[in-house]
Structure 1
Amino acid sequence: MELSTITWIVLAGALATYLTRIGGHLILSRFKTIHPRVEAALNAVPAAVLTTLVAPAAVFTGPAETATVIVCALAAFYLPGMAVFVIGWAAVLAFRALIG
Protein backbone atom coordinates (compact mmCIF):
# COMPACT_ATOMS: atom_id res chain seq x y z
CA MET A 1 0.00 0.00 0.00
CA GLU A 2 1.41 3.37 -1.04
CA LEU A 3 1.43 6.31 1.36
CA SER A 4 -0.53 9.32 0.20
CA THR A 5 0.92 12.78 -0.31
CA ILE A 6 -0.84 14.06 2.80
CA THR A 7 0.74 11.32 4.90
CA TRP A 8 4.20 12.27 3.62
CA ILE A 9 3.54 15.94 4.38
CA VAL A 10 2.43 15.10 7.93
CA LEU A 11 5.48 12.88 8.49
CA ALA A 12 7.84 15.54 7.09
CA GLY A 13 6.25 18.16 9.34
CA ALA A 14 6.59 15.89 12.37
CA LEU A 15 10.24 15.23 11.56
CA ALA A 16 10.98 18.94 11.04
CA THR A 17 9.31 19.80 14.34
CA TYR A 18 11.23 17.10 16.17
CA LEU A 19 14.56 18.13 14.67
CA THR A 20 14.12 21.81 15.52
CA ARG A 21 13.17 21.01 19.10
CA ILE A 22 15.91 18.47 19.72
CA GLY A 23 18.45 20.64 17.86
CA GLY A 24 17.99 23.56 20.23
CA HIS A 25 18.29 21.24 23.21
CA LEU A 26 21.46 19.63 21.86
CA ILE A 27 23.11 22.98 21.13
CA LEU A 28 22.29 24.50 24.52
CA SER A 29 23.24 21.34 26.44
CA ARG A 30 26.84 21.67 25.21
CA PHE A 31 27.37 24.82 27.29
CA LYS A 32 27.96 24.75 31.03
CA THR A 33 26.53 28.24 31.43
CA ILE A 34 24.41 30.38 29.17
CA HIS A 35 25.48 33.95 28.48
CA PRO A 36 23.09 36.44 30.13
CA ARG A 37 22.21 37.97 26.76
CA VAL A 38 21.27 34.58 25.34
CA GLU A 39 19.20 33.82 28.43
CA ALA A 40 17.44 37.18 28.15
CA ALA A 41 16.68 36.49 24.49
CA LEU A 42 15.30 33.04 25.28
CA ASN A 43 13.16 34.49 28.07
CA ALA A 44 11.70 37.00 25.59
CA VAL A 45 10.56 34.31 23.12
CA PRO A 46 7.18 33.49 24.77
CA ALA A 47 6.19 37.16 24.87
CA ALA A 48 7.26 37.63 21.26
CA VAL A 49 5.26 34.61 20.09
CA LEU A 50 2.22 35.74 22.06
CA THR A 51 2.49 39.20 20.54
CA THR A 52 2.60 37.79 17.01
CA LEU A 53 -0.60 35.88 17.73
CA VAL A 54 -2.51 38.59 19.59
CA ALA A 55 -1.56 41.75 17.67
CA PRO A 56 -3.19 40.75 14.36
CA ALA A 57 -6.36 39.75 16.23
CA ALA A 58 -6.48 43.15 17.90
CA VAL A 59 -5.84 45.09 14.70
CA PHE A 60 -7.49 43.17 11.87
CA THR A 61 -10.64 41.76 13.50
CA GLY A 62 -13.71 43.44 14.89
CA PRO A 63 -14.14 45.82 17.80
CA ALA A 64 -15.16 42.98 20.14
CA GLU A 65 -11.78 41.31 19.79
CA THR A 66 -9.93 44.60 20.14
CA ALA A 67 -11.83 45.40 23.33
CA THR A 68 -11.07 41.91 24.64
CA VAL A 69 -7.34 42.38 24.06
CA ILE A 70 -7.45 45.64 26.00
CA VAL A 71 -9.35 44.03 28.89
CA CYS A 72 -6.91 41.10 28.98
CA ALA A 73 -3.88 43.39 28.88
CA LEU A 74 -5.18 45.30 31.88
CA ALA A 75 -6.13 42.10 33.74
CA ALA A 76 -2.67 40.63 33.11
CA PHE A 77 -1.10 43.30 35.31
CA TYR A 78 -3.06 42.10 38.34
CA LEU A 79 -4.09 38.47 37.84
CA PRO A 80 -2.44 35.12 37.09
CA GLY A 81 -2.48 33.66 33.58
CA MET A 82 -5.42 31.29 33.97
CA ALA A 83 -7.61 34.04 35.38
CA VAL A 84 -6.71 36.27 32.42
CA PHE A 85 -7.62 33.42 30.07
CA VAL A 86 -11.04 33.00 31.70
CA ILE A 87 -11.65 36.76 31.68
CA GLY A 88 -10.66 36.93 28.01
CA TRP A 89 -12.95 34.07 27.12
CA ALA A 90 -15.88 35.67 28.92
CA ALA A 91 -15.06 39.13 27.57
CA VAL A 92 -14.94 38.05 23.93
CA LEU A 93 -18.29 36.29 24.31
CA ALA A 94 -19.84 39.31 26.01
CA PHE A 95 -18.39 41.85 23.58
CA ARG A 96 -19.46 39.80 20.57
CA ALA A 97 -23.00 39.62 21.95
CA LEU A 98 -23.09 43.37 22.75
CA ILE A 99 -21.03 44.86 19.92
CA GLY A 100 -21.32 42.24 17.22
Structure 2
Amino acid sequence: MTFDLQTLLAILAMAAATILTRVSGLFLLRYVSLDGSRRKAIESIPPAVLMAVVAPTAFATGIAESAACAVTALAALRLPMLVAVATGVVCVALLRAIGFG
Protein backbone atom coordinates (compact mmCIF):
# COMPACT_ATOMS: atom_id res chain seq x y z
CA MET A 1 0.00 0.00 0.00
CA THR A 2 1.34 3.41 -0.93
CA PHE A 3 0.82 6.76 0.70
CA ASP A 4 -1.02 9.27 -1.48
CA LEU A 5 -1.08 12.81 -0.11
CA GLN A 6 -4.01 13.90 -2.28
CA THR A 7 -6.14 11.01 -1.05
CA LEU A 8 -5.26 11.78 2.56
CA LEU A 9 -6.11 15.45 2.07
CA ALA A 10 -9.42 14.55 0.44
CA ILE A 11 -10.33 12.26 3.36
CA LEU A 12 -9.39 14.94 5.89
CA ALA A 13 -11.40 17.57 4.00
CA MET A 14 -14.45 15.31 3.91
CA ALA A 15 -14.08 14.57 7.62
CA ALA A 16 -13.83 18.29 8.39
CA ALA A 17 -16.90 19.05 6.27
CA THR A 18 -18.87 16.31 8.04
CA ILE A 19 -17.86 17.49 11.50
CA LEU A 20 -18.53 21.15 10.70
CA THR A 21 -21.94 20.29 9.27
CA ARG A 22 -22.95 18.36 12.37
CA VAL A 23 -21.57 20.88 14.84
CA SER A 24 -23.05 23.86 13.02
CA GLY A 25 -26.44 22.15 12.95
CA LEU A 26 -26.36 21.63 16.70
CA PHE A 27 -25.19 25.19 17.25
CA LEU A 28 -27.74 26.81 14.94
CA LEU A 29 -30.62 24.71 16.24
CA ARG A 30 -30.36 26.57 19.55
CA TYR A 31 -31.55 29.73 17.82
CA VAL A 32 -34.45 28.24 15.85
CA SER A 33 -37.86 27.55 17.31
CA LEU A 34 -39.30 24.29 16.09
CA ASP A 35 -43.05 24.26 15.74
CA GLY A 36 -44.96 21.15 14.66
CA SER A 37 -44.32 21.25 10.91
CA ARG A 38 -40.64 22.18 11.21
CA ARG A 39 -40.02 19.46 13.77
CA LYS A 40 -41.76 16.91 11.55
CA ALA A 41 -39.66 17.99 8.56
CA ILE A 42 -36.41 17.68 10.50
CA GLU A 43 -37.41 14.30 11.93
CA SER A 44 -38.07 12.99 8.41
CA ILE A 45 -34.49 13.67 7.26
CA PRO A 46 -32.81 10.53 8.74
CA PRO A 47 -35.22 8.05 7.09
CA ALA A 48 -34.89 9.91 3.79
CA VAL A 49 -31.10 9.73 3.95
CA LEU A 50 -31.28 6.05 4.87
CA MET A 51 -33.47 5.33 1.85
CA ALA A 52 -31.12 7.29 -0.40
CA VAL A 53 -28.27 5.06 0.76
CA VAL A 54 -30.25 1.80 0.70
CA ALA A 55 -32.21 2.19 -2.56
CA PRO A 56 -29.29 1.69 -4.98
CA THR A 57 -28.47 -1.58 -3.22
CA ALA A 58 -32.04 -2.77 -3.65
CA PHE A 59 -31.91 -2.31 -7.41
CA ALA A 60 -28.34 -3.42 -8.10
CA THR A 61 -27.96 -6.63 -6.10
CA GLY A 62 -29.62 -9.97 -5.45
CA ILE A 63 -32.86 -11.05 -3.82
CA ALA A 64 -31.41 -11.18 -0.28
CA GLU A 65 -30.21 -7.59 -0.44
CA SER A 66 -33.42 -6.35 -2.05
CA ALA A 67 -35.55 -8.06 0.59
CA ALA A 68 -33.35 -6.66 3.37
CA CYS A 69 -33.73 -3.17 1.88
CA ALA A 70 -37.51 -3.54 1.97
CA VAL A 71 -37.38 -4.77 5.56
CA THR A 72 -35.14 -1.83 6.50
CA ALA A 73 -37.51 0.64 4.84
CA LEU A 74 -40.51 -0.78 6.66
CA ALA A 75 -38.65 -0.90 9.98
CA ALA A 76 -37.57 2.74 9.54
CA LEU A 77 -41.22 3.80 9.52
CA ARG A 78 -41.72 2.82 13.16
CA LEU A 79 -38.41 1.97 14.79
CA PRO A 80 -35.38 4.09 15.71
CA MET A 81 -32.87 4.38 12.89
CA LEU A 82 -30.20 2.19 14.50
CA VAL A 83 -32.72 -0.58 15.12
CA ALA A 84 -33.98 -0.34 11.51
CA VAL A 85 -30.47 -0.64 10.11
CA ALA A 86 -29.66 -3.54 12.45
CA THR A 87 -32.87 -5.27 11.34
CA GLY A 88 -31.81 -4.95 7.71
CA VAL A 89 -28.34 -6.31 8.45
CA VAL A 90 -29.76 -9.31 10.31
CA CYS A 91 -32.26 -9.92 7.51
CA VAL A 92 -29.62 -9.97 4.76
CA ALA A 93 -27.37 -12.20 6.87
CA LEU A 94 -30.16 -14.69 7.48
CA LEU A 95 -31.25 -14.72 3.84
CA ARG A 96 -27.68 -15.28 2.68
CA ALA A 97 -27.24 -18.04 5.26
CA ILE A 98 -30.26 -19.96 3.99
CA GLY A 99 -29.13 -19.64 0.39
CA PHE A 100 -30.83 -16.60 -1.13
CA GLY A 101 -27.68 -14.58 -1.57
Match of 2:37 in 1: 37
Q: How many matched pairs?
A: 95
Q: CA deviation at 1:84?
A: 7.3
Task: Calculate percent identity across the aligned residue pairs.
Answer: 38
The CA RMSD over aligned residues, in Å, is 3.2
The one-character-per-residue Cα deviations of 1:35-60 (angstroms, maximum 9, x if unpaired) are 32221111001110111122222222
Q: Distance in 2 between matches of 1:90 and 1:78?
A: 17
Match of 1:20 in 2: 21
Q: Write out aligned runs for 1:71-90 (5 A).
A: 71-72=71-72, 76=75, 82=83, 85-86=86-87, 88-90=88-90
Q: Distance in 2 between matches of 1:72 and 1:10?
A: 29
Q: CA deviation at 1:5?
A: 2.4
SS in 2 for 1:98: coil
Q: Write out aligned runs for 1:50-61 (5 A).
A: 50-61=50-61
The one-character-per-residue Cα deviations of 1:6-28 (angstroms, maximum 9, x if unpaired) are 33223322221222122222222
SS in 2 for 1:34: coil
Sort the Cα spacing of 1:14 and 1:55 in 2 relative to 1 into closer, same or farther, 3 A.
closer
Q: Write out aligned runs for 1:56-67 (5 A).
A: 56-67=56-67
- TM-score normalised over the length of structure 2: 0.65
> For structure 1, which runs of at least 5 residues remain unmatched after alignment?
none
- TM-score normalised over the length of structure 1: 0.65
Match of 1:9 in 2: 10
